[in-house]
Amino acid sequence: MKDILINGVKKAGEILKEDFYRPKTVSNKGVADLVTETDLKIEEFLKKYFYKQLPDYKFVGEETSLDLSFKEKCLIVDPIDGTTNFVHRFPFVGISVGVYENLNPVAATVFNPIMDELYYAEVGKGAFLNGSRIFVSTQSKIENSLLATGFPYGFVEKNKKDILAKLEKILSNSRGVRRAGAASLDLCYVARGVFDGYYEGGLKPWDVAAGVLIVSEAGGKISNMNGGNFSFEDEYIVASNKIIHNELIEVLCGI
Ligand code: IPD
Ligand code: CA
Ligand code: CA
């Protein structure tokens, strides 16, 4: 499984890297929700590749899949996480693949070919960046934490007041907030101990399917905004180094 996943995202990464500095053909799926020919090219490549390599797994891709049931064995794929970054040549872009069985992640990879960062995790076997083990931070004080968040296309319009209220609380209770623009990599940066915590509302399964396992296998915690088990139906995801998790939720919810 590991070699199949890594070889697949590395081949897909060659497509992304080749197009990164080229002029792009951009379409709008929604308000500031972009898709490019490269998103479609990578998804098509990965669909064919995994059909050959993992024929027992259903392919669920952001750009072409209509059946979003995850009950059977499936690969949940975001061909380019951070398409806006890709279009504007901001190098925080990830190819994300989560391998799921019975609704649970069993393996995951996120590859940023521009910064040459390959994240991999398998349940019970740890999380890795370019082959070296990674672990969440040991930061115990939220006021000394570097946090991250995002503002999903469309979700912002409907929830602007709540999003700004959360941002105001976080800004007053941390060292700072980063909005880097690729949720899968935001989660990987929690796993490697760069971000001490991350939260975002309105994400889709392919944004987080791989990152949640990478955070957990790096010793971090993933929950919904109530601190309960996160599922794809939850409005918010919260990820952290586990130590600041409850305090992060208290700050976000104004408890
Ligand atoms: C987006 C990124 C962004 C998040 C958006 C996602 P995409 O993914 O993950 O960080 O805030 O909600 O849609 O659309 O570039 O694959
Ligand atoms: Ca995405
Ligand atoms: Ca995408």
Domain ranges of the chain: 2-133, 142-253
Helix ranges (H only) for the chain are 2-20, 37-53, 83-87, 155-172, 183-191, 205-208, 211-217, 245-253
Give CA–CA dist 60/13, Å, rounded: 19
Q: Which fold has domain 142-253?
A: D-Maltodextrin-Binding Protein; domain 2 (3.40.190)
User: pLDDT (tens digit, 9 = 90+) per residue, 172-231?
Assistant: 999 999 999 999 999 999 999 999 999 999 999 999 999 999 999 999 999 999 999 999
19 is catalytic: no
139, 241 Cβ separation under 8 angstroms? yes
62 is catalytic: yes
CATH class, domain 2-133, is alpha beta
CA of 7 to the centre of ligand 3 (A): 20
User: pLDDT (tens digit, 9 = 90+) per residue, 90-140?
Assistant: 999 999 999 999 999 999 999 999 999 999 999 999 999 999 999 999 999
Give CA–CA dist 201/16, Å, rounded: 27
Nearest to 98 by CA among 232, 210, 216: 210
Residue list, CB under 5 A from ion ligand 2: 78, 81, 207
Residue nearest ligand 1's atom 16 by CA: 81
Mean pLDDT confidence for 54-72:
90
**H or E stretch at 33:** strand 33-36
Q: What are phi and psi of 216, to 5 degrees?
A: -60, -45
Pocket of ligand 1 (CB under 6 A): 78, 81-84, 150, 152-153, 181-183, 200, 203, 207
